[in-house]
Amino acid sequence: MASTQLLASKVVILEEEPQIPAIVALPSAVTLAVGITERGPIADPVLLTSFEEYVKTFGGFTLDAEVALAAHGYFYNGGSFLWVARTCHFTDVTDPTTAEAVAGTLMLDTLGGADSPGQVTSTLASPYNLVPTDDLVVEITGGGHLTATFSATAAQAPLPGAAGYPIAALAGGENFTIAIDGGTPQVITAVGGETTALDIANLVNSQLNGGKAYVSGPTVLVESDILGLASIVDFAAGAPDLLVLLGGVPGPVAGTGNVQNIASVTGAEVKTIVELAVAGCTVTVNGDGTVTLATTLLGATETIGVKVASTADTKMGIDNALHTGGTAAPQNTLKVDGKTAGAYSDNVRVIIEDATNGDADYFNLTVTVSGVIKEVWPNVTMDTADAWYIETILNNLNLGSDLISVVDQSATGTTSERKPVAGTFGPLTAGDDGLVGIVATDYIGSSAGGTGLYAFDLVTSGRILIVPAQAVATVHLAMMDYAEGWRNGSMIAVLDCPQSQTAQQMVSYVQLNGLLEYSEFGVLYWPWIKVVNPSTAIFGDDDKITVAPSGWIAGKYASNDQRLGGVYESPAGIGEGFGVIRGMVGVEDDPTGRERHSVLDERVRDLVYPYRINPITKLESTPWHIDGGRTLKSTGNFPNVGERRGVIFIEQSLKQGLIILKHRFNNRANRQRAKRIITAFLIREMNKGAFRSTNPDTAFYVDASDQLNPPAQEFAGIMTIRIGLATNKPGEFIVIIVTQDTRALAESLAA
């Protein structure tokens, strides 16, 4: 209840917790199944709510997959919650990693192709701003270092000086023209008074663009600003009067070197210079202006590297690493494994095809089983940064493949080159179910390893335990020990009888192996049943097959529990269908060959029932049904299935519901609170038919008295509550007494 300060006048609404919190009824038929499956995680339980979910995780029917048939029967008979833990042979049941089941595998390769050269590509695009004598020092396949040098000088032309300097002072207006680098002629006009070489140089510099003049010895030199073959100084064009005055008209002069302009070296020039200087190297000018230096020879033995001693490398964006060529052989690119261990992969193939989206960097991957398409993964890629990267898509825990997982092998090349080659590949190989040498211990498992039965240690909701078709005494005893001892009586074990047993053999089985009177948490049914063949491809052409009944019976338990108070009823008989097994069409043939369906004989049932073996039978004009509801222990507190399961349901619901009292004061008030909570719950269950009476005073009692909780108990932190339940007893025998009606004779004699 929220607290509110009462300061100003107001109307206050407060909500408080109910004085008697309701106990939530827990699911009563959550079933746990251990056994062999076609595939799926080992010793790692998975909750399933339909047979379709079972197939998605654990595969379908196989001759060995005993759990598949049990799951089929469980859901067909109305079961809703089935936890499955797969098992196999372990070299050490205390360590689940020693499971001998192995996933199949398949390696996919790239297409391969022509050998590739060692090559390095610049990161900067041409043209390049270099200076004369810049170079690239290149090493080809372990050979010596060869140097490609970029050279360039500017064009230099002397002004005619035949008359010598100084000259007569110019009057002004005299002129001549200079064309620089093939450009438009520029007119240089005297101002007046120029007499020395320096005067002429200054006159040129004041009016010339793209070049400069300076005094060199007895003459004046005019020089282009650029360095290289494109550098030209030409005095021949235009008005020559000043040139004539100076002593003549010279022709054009060009720069020197191996580039047109050292400040703007083109990719084509790089190609010419490097290929000429470096034997065994070819240069490609790429469309984006970058250049690629490559070995002339191809293959994985070819290498190329631009050495750190170079001066043009950083200006061109060329690294100094050694680059190796590639081989034409296909590379391993994608490893395909079975998603889980198992020989099922023997029938799994993958098909690689061109991508639906038409992009060469993508491809489609299809998974088939026995030639039937099961999964299609379109437009996946080997690009690790892409949202459709194949590992991201196929290995997704919830949305990925049910059949395979993949591992990128980090092949070299472009994304397109790293694709698996197109075609059909497989099947996966070397998958193994790990069944060679499997023994009872592999089903029983170990608490240390969380294998076998103990894989369910954390599944606290389990109420029914089955190990389909494992009808051996060691497994049966271990199942009852697990249900009663390890799990504190929180579940009941439904046991399959051994196959092909006569009634007398079944009696001997329970007697000689110590099952009789062993535990009230174990229930044994006999014989194996016949059901409609669910897969002629697996089980042959017969329309019926023989199966262990535990999965069908567990489903029957579950469907009955959906009725009001159904958990308290014995799952037997034909009344309201409580014991009718859906999908059952018969029982296994009598192994003696003398009587077909000997279980139909009442005398046979009379033989097994006293030994607490529950027969499955049919009477005239009735469907096949369970004809018994006894646990294996007659002297237990609750020796019948309905009683035992009903009490488990009550106990576990109370255990969960009374958690609210943990760590609260251990006093009389809280004990009475606990009593009220329990009483309210039991009244609700009484109204469902849980007890022999509908009067709370006679249906149950709840004792939370001080006598049960003396001070020593309180100080020890122990709250004790005793509950007595008047459970219903099943009507196993209906006795009809027939006698002569002598009432009229008695009246006559009395008169």
CA distances from 104 to 32, 61, 333, 426 (A): 28, 19, 17, 10
Structure tokens at 43: 């010793």
- Which residues share a beta bridge with 223? 156, 212
Query: Is 650 among the domain residues?
Result: no
Residues 6+ apart with CB under 8 A from 3: none
Q: Could you tell me the CATH number of the domain that includes residue 287?
A: 2.60.40
**Cα dihedral sign, 358-359-360-363:** negative
Nearest to 83 by CA among 416, 639, 459, 595: 459
Q: Could you tell me the CATH number of the domain that includes residue 615?
A: 3.40.50.11780
Contact call for residues 404 and 342 (beta carbons, < 8 A) = no
**Burial status of residue 180 (CB atoms within 10 A of its CB: 0-12, 13-18, 19 or more):** buried
Structure tokens at 611: 């030994």
pLDDT of residue 361: 96
Angle at 458 between CA 494 and CA 56, to 5 degrees: 75
Q: Could you tell me the CATH number of the domain that includes residue 365?
A: 2.60.40.4290
Buried b (16+ CB within 10 A) or exposed e, 513-546: eebbbbbbbbbbbbbbbbbebbeeeebeeeeebb
Query: Is 175 among the domain residues?
Result: yes
pLDDT of residue 273: 97
pLDDT of residue 603: 85
Give the SS3 label for residue 429: strand
Nearest to 180 by CA among 170, 189, 168, 188: 188
Amino acid identity for residue 670 in this structure: N
Structure tokens at 742: 């002598």
- Which residues share a beta bridge with 701? 724
pLDDT of residue 34: 98
Structure tokens at 708: 């049960």
User: Do you know the residue count of the chain?
Assistant: 751
Structure tokens at 16: 């408080």
CA distances from 153 to 201, 229, 262 (A): 21, 8, 9
Give the SS3 label for residue 630: strand
Structure tokens at 344: 């099922």
State the CB neighbour count (10 A cutoff) for residue 649. Answer: 21
Structure tokens at 73: 């029967």
Asked if residue 534 and residue 449 are part of one domain, the reply reads: yes
Interval 323-353: pLDDT, tens: 998 877 788 999 999 999 999 999 999 999 9
pLDDT of residue 596: 46
- Which single residue is written with the structure tokens 């004790």? 720
Peptide bond preceding 591 in cis form (omega within 30 of 0):
no
CA distances from 293 to 261, 275, 303, 306 (A): 22, 9, 11, 9
Interval 471-499: pLDDT, tens: 999 999 999 999 999 999 999 999 999 99
- Which residues share a beta bridge with 233? 180, 253
Structure tokens at 363: 């491809």
pLDDT of residue 248: 59
pLDDT of residue 733: 64
Query: Is 662 among the domain residues?
Result: no
Pairing of β 522-526 and β 613-617: parallel
Interval 232-286: pLDDT, tens: 998 865 555 666 656 556 678 999 999 999 999 999 999 999 999 999 999 999 9
Out of 324, 343, 368, pick the residue that ends a domain: 324
Asked if residue 595 and residue 534 are part of one domain, the reply reads: yes
Asked if residue 139 and residue 93 are part of one domain, the reply reads: no
Out of 370, 404, 425, pick the residue that ends a domain: 425
pLDDT of residue 162: 45
Structure tokens at 5: 């300060």
Structure tokens at 404: 């395979």
Asked if residue 586 and residue 552 are part of one domain, the reply reads: yes
DSSP alpha helix (H) spans, 562-689: 602-608, 641-657, 668-686
Q: Domain containing 498: what range?
A: 31-98+436-642
Query: Is 302 among the domain residues?
Result: yes
Asked if residue 340 and residue 201 are part of one domain, the reply reads: no
Query: Is 37 among the domain residues?
Result: yes
What total of structural domains would you count in the chain? Answer: 4
Asked if residue 487 and residue 370 are part of one domain, the reply reads: no
CA distances from 325 to 88, 322, 586, 638, 730 (A): 48, 10, 72, 80, 84
Query: Is 383 among the domain residues?
Result: yes
User: Residue 443: what are its φ and ψ, rounded to 5°?
Assistant: -80, -40
Tell me the HSE value of 616 on the side-chain side, using a 13 A CA sphere: 30
Angle at 491 between CA 487 and CA 672, to 5 degrees: 80
Asked if residue 361 and residue 474 are part of one domain, the reply reads: no
Q: At what angle do helices 66-76 and 51-58 cross, to 10 degrees?
A: 160
pLDDT of residue 127: 97
Query: Is 215 among the domain residues?
Result: yes
- In the β-sheet with 544-547, what is the strand arrangement from edge to edge? 544-547, 529-532, 584-587
**Burial status of residue 316 (CB atoms within 10 A of its CB: 0-12, 13-18, 19 or more):** buried
Asked if residue 622 and residue 496 are part of one domain, the reply reads: yes
Nearest to 637 by CA among 425, 509, 484: 484
Out of 254, 269, 302, pick the residue that ends a domain: 254
Contact call for residues 436 and 101 (beta carbons, < 8 A) = no
- Which residues share a beta bridge with 367? 350, 375
Asked if residue 394 and residue 467 are part of one domain, the reply reads: no
Asked if residue 600 and residue 512 are part of one domain, the reply reads: yes
Asked if residue 626 and residue 574 are part of one domain, the reply reads: yes
For every residue of 565-583, DSSP letters joined together read TGGGS-S-SSGGGTTBPTT
Residues lower than pLDDT 70 in the chain: 1-4, 13-20, 24-25, 160-164, 236-250, 592-598, 732-734
CA 323, CA 139: separation in Å to the nearest integer? 10
pLDDT of residue 751: 76
Asked if residue 45 and residue 136 are part of one domain, the reply reads: no
pLDDT of residue 254: 93
| pTM greater than the 0.75 cutoff | no
